[in-house]
Copies of this chain bind each other. A is one copy, B any other.
């Protein structure tokens, strides 16, 4: 099956989008085209804010590629990171359906691309197409549960256990490699695991001393996976 690129858009590939299967698989071709017409693809460069807490929700945002962090800033100014995640997850698009404004902020940790589709159109399609809605429920549920589980995992560990867990998270869930460049600062790790950045750094130093990791700035190599897993488990 072939399709023609609309002349007024650089990319209009919903029909062939590799992410289509995640949620939009149950839409008819006609509806997919409507979405395609209405959508806007926005690129965010590393560090850019995608949306902020309190901002009015106008569209449903679907992360195509990149890496983002979902977070909240308290009155006192410090940041709490809720999750760091790749496209398959929905992230902030949970409260899209029951609130007027975003409750959390979202920003790009790597260059990212998001599809923005008017929220009313999505709601209309959900209402019209139960299969699509059931699909959406499935994806939203998974996302929420992953966030909740991540939190439970973190909160049951001590400092070293949390740092180990986060390193394993990046290695196993984000980069699929023993060697990777951390997408976040030490302070952001601290904000994710609710510890002070000084102690996160100290823990890195210990891991280095004990031959568990090698690190040079943001480049990390896990040299003793087993030990790291043990620390994560008992911590």
Contact = CB atoms under 8 A, between A and B. Distances in A.
Contact of A131 (B127, B136, B155): B127
Contacts of A99: 145
B138 A134 contact: no
Given A95-B141, A97-B137, A140-B140, A127 B130 contact: yes
Chain A's interface: helix, strand, loop or mixed, by majority?
Answer: helix
Interface residues of A, number: 39
Contacts of A156: 74, 78, 80, 194
A126 interface: yes
Contacts of A200: none
A148 B97 contact: no
Interface string A146-175: 011101100110000000000000000000
A103 B149 contact: yes
A27 B59 CA distance: 27
Nearest to A122: B134
Nearest to A80: B152
Copies of this chain, count: 2
A161 to B, nearest CB: 12
Interface string A85-127: 0000000001111110001000000000000000000010011
B74 A145 contact: no
Given A149-B103, A156-B194, A194-B155, A94 B144 contact: yes
A34 interface: no
Nearest to A133: B133
A72 interface: yes
A68 interface: no
A10 interface: no
Given A127-B130, A133-B130, A148-B148, A97 B141 contact: yes
A134 B194 CA distance: 35
Given A147-B148, A149-B103, A97 B138 contact: yes
A128 interface: yes
Contact of A97 (B123, B134, B147): B134
Contact of A140 (B123, B137, B152): B137
